[in-house]
Amino acid sequence: MKVRVTVMPKAGVLDPQGKAIGHALDSLGFGGVGEVRAGKVIELELAETDPNAAKAAAEDMARRLLANSVIESYRVEIAP
């Protein structure tokens, strides 16, 4: 079962990578670009076949390794 963990900087946390992307888009002539936030996405192939158990395992992984809960929030979903 494929699970996707998306890790984003929390609102209010400075995101220099997002800012840099915003500036670069501006330089390339893209207008109307407001806030840009850059995060990570981790796709995991799990042996677990029960969706709820797979989701719970991925949330545990996110808490313990993938996300820094002080500055990042995460979201776990079953990938299609």
Q: Where along the sequence are the contacts to a copy of itself (CB under 8 A)?
A: 6, 8, 18, 21, 24-25, 28, 30-48, 57, 60-61, 64-66
- Residue placing its CB nearer to a copy of itself in the complex, 39 or 70: 39
- Residue placing its CB nearer to a copy of itself in the complex, 12 or 32: 32
Distance CA 17, CA 75 (A): 20
The DSSP code for 1 is -
Within the chain, what is the greatest distance between any pair of CA atoms? 47
Q: How far is the CB of 60 from a copy of itself (least distance, A)?
A: 8
Distance CA 35, CA 50 (A): 37
Distance CA 33, CA 2 (A): 32
- Residue placing its CB nearer to a copy of itself in the complex, 40 or 71: 40
Q: How far is the CB of 70 from a copy of itself (least distance, A)?
A: 19
